Amino acid sequence: MREMDLTGVPCPMNWVRARLALEEIEDGEPLELVLDPGEPMRSVPLSAREDGHDVTVTGNRVTIVKR
Amino acid sequence: MTLTDSELERYSRQLVLPEWSGEAQERVRGSSAIVVGAGALGSPAATYLAAAGLGRIGVVDSDDVELSNLHRQPLHYTPDIGLRKAENAAVKLRALNPEVEVDPYPARLGSDNAETIVTGADVVVDCADSFETRYAVNDACCALGVPLVEGAVLGLGGQVMSIVPGRTACYRCAFPAPPSPESVPSCREAGVLGAVAGIVGSIQALEALKLLTGLGTPLVDRVLHIDAATMEHTLIATERREDCASCSRVAASAQSG
| pLDDT digits 0-9 by tens, A42-65 | 999 999 999 999 999 999 999 999
When pLDDT is averaged across residues B167-193 and rounded to a whole number, the result is 82
Q: What percent of chain B has pLDDT over 70?
A: 94
CB contact under 8 A, B16 and A23: no
Q: Is A25 touching B (CB cutoff 8 A)?
A: no
Grade residue A21 by pLDDT with cuts at 50, 70 and 90. Answer: very high
Per-domain boundaries in chain B: 31-256
Task: Examine the pLDDT at B252 and tell me if it is beyond 60.
Answer: no
Q: How far is A13 from chain B (nearest CA, A)?
A: 6
pLDDT value, residue B190: 74
Q: Burial of B194 by CB count in 10 Å (0-12 exposed, 13-18 middle, 19+ buried)?
A: middle
Q: Is A46 touching B (CB cutoff 8 A)?
A: no
- Closest to B48 (Cα-Cα) out of B212, B168, B188, B220: B212
Range of A11's domain? 2-65
pLDDT value, residue B253: 45
pTM of the model: 0.90
Neighbours of B43 (CB within 10 A): 28
Residues on chain B touching A9 (C-beta within 8 angstroms): none
User: Among positive and negative, which fits the CA dihedral B245, B248, B254, B256?
Assistant: negative
Question: Which residue(s) pair with B224 in the sheet?
Answer: B160, B235
Residues on chain B touching A15 (C-beta within 8 angstroms): 16
Question: Is B31-256 a CATH 3.90.1300.10 domain?
Answer: no
Task: Examine the pLDDT at B251 and tell me if it is beyond 60.
Answer: no
Q: What is the CATH number of the domain that holds A7?
A: 3.30.110.40
Q: Chain B interface, mutation test: which of A19, A22, A51, A67, most B Cβ atoms within 10 Å?
A: A19
When pLDDT is averaged across residues B57-74 and rounded to a whole number, the result is 97
Grade residue B255 by pLDDT with cuts at 50, 70 and 90. Answer: very low
- The domain total for chain A is 1
Q: What is the ipTM of this complex?
A: 0.75
Task: Examine the pLDDT at A15 and tell me if it is beyond 60.
Answer: yes
CA distance B168 to B172: 11
The lowest-confidence range among A61-65, B1-5, B139-143, B164-168 is B1-5
Q: Chain A interface, mutation test: which of B2, B10, B16, most A Cβ atoms within 10 Å?
A: B16
